Every structure is written in C-alpha cells, then in structure tokens.
Amino acid sequence: MLKKLIFKLKNCLPHISVRSRRAAEYDKIKHHLTSDDNGIVLWDIELDEKGTINPNNKVTWSQEFRDMLRFENESDFPNLLLSWSSRLHPEDKEKTLAALYAHLGDTTGRTKYDVEYRIMTKDEEYTHLHARGKAIRNHEGTPIKMIGSIMDISDKRNLENLVRANDKNLEKKEIIFNALHNVGSALLTANKSTFDKIIIKSMGVIGQIIDADRVQIWRNENIGGNLHFSLSDEWLSNLGTQLEITPKCRTYPYDAVPGWEDKLRRVKHVNSPIIDMLPHEYAFFNRHGVKTLMIIPLFKSDSLWGFLRADDCENERTFSEEEIVDINTAGQFLAFALIFRESLDNANDEISKNAELKHWYRSILDAIPIPISVTDADMKLTFINAAIENMLGKRRENIYGKRCSVLDTDICNTPGCGIACAKRFVNRTFFKSSGKSYQVDVSKLSNLNGEDAGFVEIIQDITEPGLHRDIASGSTGTNASLSH
C-alpha cells in the first residue's frame, strides 16, 4: 500500500512542479507589469491547447478596467475578448490586434506586446490606453495563458495633442506673418503689378491655412448715393477655379443682401454654412457654389472700408475661433496695405502729372523766343528759358539758386534793377546794351496763400524802327547788358 502511494506521488510531482513554475511565472509577470507605473489594471486570457485566439476567448477583465471604461459589471462588459476588441478605435484596431497575434505567435517569446490604442467608453467617447502583456507558454513555446496590464494615458496624450495643436497654430501664425511681411516689404519697393501679385499670394496663404477654396477682398464704393461692394482681389484653389469666376471690379449693392451692411458696421463677422442662413442670403451665395462662408469686416479708421470673404465650396462647417482671430488680423493688415498703396499710387500719379506739367510748361516757355526769367522772393533764380540760356551762353542748372545779379548786367544791384522797380510798383523799365534797346516787364508772383513768392521778368528787344523808346524818357538805368 505504501509503495503504491509513493508511486502515485512520484507521478504527480512533475505536474505539481509545472503548475508551481507556471504560478511563479504568473506572479513574476504580474509583478513586472504592475511595478513600473501607478494606475495599472490587469487582465488575463485563457487559451486552448493550440494557443489560438478568437473573439469568444475568455478574458478576465478586472473591475478596475471596467471602471476605466465606465462599465458597471460583468453583465455590462462580459469577460470575452470581443467586449474589448469591438470597441477599439477603427484607426487603431488593426495594429492593436496585429501586435497581440504577433506576440502569441512567436514561440520564442521575444516579440513584445506593448501597444497604445484608443478604445470607446460606455459614454461613446474615446480614451487613450497603454497596454502591455506577456504569454505563459508550455515547453514547446505554445501560449496557454496571457496576462496583461492597461494604463489610462488620456491626460498625457491630450496634453501632447494640445501642445501639437499649439505648435501647429504657431506655425500657421508664422506662415501668415511671413506672408504679410512680404506685403509690407512690397508696399514701397514693388511696382503695382508686383504688389498686386504679392497680395494675391498672401491671400492664397490664408486660403490654404484654413482650407478655403476662395478668398476675396471687397471694397466699398458709393454709387448714386447708395453703398455698393466691389471685388478688389481674389484667390482661388484648384476647386475654386472650376467654379464661376467673379470678374474683377464686379459690384453689388448692399441691398442685394439686406441687413449685412448694418451687421458689418457693428463689427459682426459671418461664420456659417449657408444652409443655416436666411433664404435670401442662401440664394445669393448658393449660385456662387458656396457651402460655408466666413466674412470679416474691414475698416479704415472707424469707417467700414469693405470685407474679406473666405468660402469653403466643398464642406459644410464653421471656421474655428482661432482661425477667425488670425484671418481678422490678416484681413485688417491687407486692407491697410491696399489703402496705403492706393494713396501712394495716387501720390505717385500726382507727382508724375506734376512732372509732366513741369516738362510742358518748360517746353512752352523754351519755345518762346523772348527771354524770360523767374526769381523767388529773395531774388534767387528759379527758372530761365532757352532764350536767356542762348544769350548768356550758360546752362540754367549752373545758375539756379543764385541771385539774379549773376547775370552780370550794368543795372544789377542798382535802383534801376527791374525787380527793385517792381517793388516800387514800377513794372516796366528800359535799358540799352551793345547798341540795342530793351524793355523789361516785371510781375510779382504769389503762392496759393496769396503771399509774395517771387518775380517774373520778360525782356523784349525794342531796337527795331518804330519800337525804339528814348531811355531818358522812361528808363531808370542805362547801358545795361540784359535785364537789370
């Protein structure tokens, strides 16, 4: 009897030893999985003798794991693999199951099961989890059981996503800033054609940042006493170019969209799918292929100058508040640039016109064969015509800014000077030079404020018979060389 008992005990010892080893291994794995982090919850899977896995595998889900997913008990979240796998995020499901299969299928045990995934809670919200696990295998390497740990890393991932979102927003802001910097640089250095191209390019940057298909700047015009908005500039995406093209300078009365003038004057932006707008608003924008609309009012001082419009012609959505703030800043800058450039172009046009007028006036005065000179109030020469240049043999540029005495006449710096006479209200004087007689007519010049600004002198040769005047009868100086 004793021999039989000893024999049975010997036969049981290997099985007891295997079970002991597996229990010890289980405890070791459990300790390893839970020793690194707080907040760990456990699970384990029972496998058949072939080590296969399927949705109906029994899995012991801890109550802590159910609490993590906001389930109450086993009836709410059964101890099946399907309870877990069916709730994996569609984008994470394939990689997560593949990691599990790869670990179980590697008989060497070297392939780790260490994966992050998203899973839907009972509230139908996704939470981020980090799962690790290790299989217990038989002597052939076939898995017979697997124990794993799960940790909720939602706060960590949400923070990372927030940092990434902020980095992305900063990157967007930098891109917009660089585009606007190019606009600012082009204000004074680029010609109108190049400046217009840079404006459109900057609008394109805005459109790409917010994924819009059309970005437009409209400016206000008063036509017939009624306020209208007219297309100033436009950028189109690839989709936008396939839609109806709005001709530049296309003009609409604000009455075409009743109520919008007042809305924009009150600094109200528009941000909505057009399907949510009033029927007359929907009809106006729908014919242009718009699905979602953003409108930012633009101001010059405190007056409504126009507006920036961004269209999504493919999706119904609303633009984010961050996008609204960024586009509002960019829009106001572009409006300032357009206003400043227009003023600059007008000033340049005025300068060009003045230069052209100056050229024509000089050409006209040079065409007159009678010597003409102009001085400022201090008797400094500001203009002489070609007739005087020819008589003096001096270029006008060499004597401008010098006192008229540089003409070196006999009556310069004497009471007989033509300007000196004009100051005594004697506007005509005579002199002789080289056997010829001259008549000098002097007139005062006034500026726009009516103040004395200088003098103009017209010199005529009156030596010809019939025109000779006795200098003694009217002259205040004799033997002058030209005008004084």
Taking only the tens place, the pLDDT of each residue in 28-83 is 555 555 544 445 668 888 887 777 788 888 999 989 899 999 999 999 999 999 99
- For 397-451, strand residue ranges (E) read 428-433, 436-446
For 283, what's the count of Cα atoms within 13 Å in the CB-facing half-sphere?
A: 6
The answer to whether the beta carbons of residues 152 and 65 sit under 8 Å apart is no
Q: What is the pLDDT of residue 86?
A: 94
- Selection from 240, 228, 235 nearest residue 290 by Cα: 240
- Asked if 146 and 174 sit in the same domain, the reply is no
Cα–Cα distances (Å) from 54 to 45, 84, 101, 116, in that order, read 11, 12, 10, 21
- Asked if 375 and 414 sit in the same domain, the reply is yes
- Asked if 336 and 434 sit in the same domain, the reply is no
The answer to whether the beta carbons of residues 233 and 203 sit under 8 Å apart is yes
Q: Work out the widest C-alpha separation in the chain, in whole angstroms.
A: 175
- Among 96, 121, 152, the domain-final residue is 152
The CATH number of residue 264's host domain is 3.30.450.40
The larger pLDDT score, comparing residue 187 to residue 101, is at 101
C-alpha dihedral over 238, 240, 241, 244, to 10 degrees? 160
- Among 94, 122, 152, the domain-final residue is 152
Domain membership flag for residue 351? no
Confidence of residue 301 (pLDDT cuts 50, 70, 90): confident
Q: What is the pLDDT of residue 19?
A: 52
Q: What is the pLDDT of residue 469?
A: 46
Cα–Cα distances (Å) from 139 to 24, 53, 144, in that order, read 15, 19, 11
Q: What is the mean pLDDT of residues 170-187?
A: 79
The answer to whether the beta carbons of residues 456 and 445 sit under 8 Å apart is yes
Domain membership flag for residue 354? no
- Asked if 42 and 105 sit in the same domain, the reply is yes
Q: What are 218's strand-pairing partners?
A: 231, 307
- Asked if 382 and 458 sit in the same domain, the reply is yes
The stretches of 220-292 forming alpha helices (DSSP H) are: 238-241, 260-265, 279-286
| 5 pLDDT above the threshold of 50 | no
Distance CA 88, CA 174 (A): 37
The CATH number of residue 373's host domain is 3.30.450.20
Q: What is the pLDDT of residue 1?
A: 46
Q: Would you tell me how many other CB atoms lie within 10 Å of the CB of residue 156?
A: 13
Confidence of residue 290 (pLDDT cuts 50, 70, 90): very high
Distance CA 125, CA 70 (A): 10
Cα–Cα distances (Å) from 209 to 170, 175, 245, 249, 327, in that order, read 12, 9, 22, 26, 10
**pTM over the 0.95 mark:** no
Q: What are 352's strand-pairing partners?
A: none
Q: Would you tell me how many other CB atoms lie within 10 Å of the CB of residue 460?
A: 14
C-alpha dihedral over 367, 391, 456, 479, to 10 degrees? -140
Domain membership flag for residue 58? yes
Domain membership flag for residue 88? yes
Each residue's pLDDT tens digit, 260-288: 899 899 888 899 999 999 998 999 899 88
Q: What is the pLDDT of residue 11?
A: 53
Q: What is the pLDDT of residue 306?
A: 94
Domain membership flag for residue 319? yes
> Where in the sequence is the domain holding 209, given as residue range(s)?
166-345
pLDDT > 70 in the chain, percent = 86
Q: Is 335 helix (H, G, I), strand (E, B) or coil?
A: helix
Domain membership flag for residue 278? yes
Residue 364 identity: I
Distance CA 473, CA 77 (A): 130
Confidence of residue 417 (pLDDT cuts 50, 70, 90): confident
Distance CA 356, CA 364 (A): 12
- Selection from 444, 481, 483 nearest residue 460 by Cα: 483
- Asked if 112 and 234 sit in the same domain, the reply is no
Distance CA 481, CA 484 (A): 8
- The dihedral of CA 123, 125, 130, 136: what is its sign? positive
- Asked if 33 and 81 sit in the same domain, the reply is yes
C-alpha dihedral over 153, 166, 308, 297, to 10 degrees? 90
Each residue's pLDDT tens digit, 323-358: 898 899 888 989 888 888 888 777 777 778 888 888
- Asked if 206 and 315 sit in the same domain, the reply is yes
Domain membership flag for residue 251? yes
Each residue's pLDDT tens digit, 119-162: 999 999 999 999 999 988 888 888 888 888 899 988 888 777 76
Q: What is the pLDDT of residue 163?
A: 67
Q: Is 338 helix (H, G, I), strand (E, B) or coil?
A: helix
Report the run of H or E that residue 7 belongs to, with start and end. helix 2-35
- Asked if 122 and 182 sit in the same domain, the reply is no
Q: What is the pLDDT of residue 24?
A: 54
Q: Is 296 helix (H, G, I), strand (E, B) or coil?
A: strand
- Asked if 310 and 385 sit in the same domain, the reply is no
Distance CA 390, CA 388 (A): 5
- Selection from 175, 238, 236, 177 nearest residue 209 by Cα: 175
Domain membership flag for residue 8? no
Total domains in the chain come to 3
The larger pLDDT score, comparing residue 163 to residue 98, is at 98
Each residue's pLDDT tens digit, 441-454: 888 888 888 888 88
- Asked if 257 and 320 sit in the same domain, the reply is yes
- Selection from 187, 159, 185 nearest residue 339 by Cα: 187
The answer to whether the beta carbons of residues 387 and 371 sit under 8 Å apart is yes
Q: What is the pLDDT of residue 23?
A: 56
Q: What is the pLDDT of residue 475?
A: 44
- Asked if 324 and 437 sit in the same domain, the reply is no
Give me the chain's average pLDDT, please.
Answer: 82
Distance CA 337, CA 344 (A): 10
- Among 152, 181, 200, the domain-final residue is 152
Phi-psi region of 466 (alpha: psi -120 to 50; beta: other; left: phi over 0): left
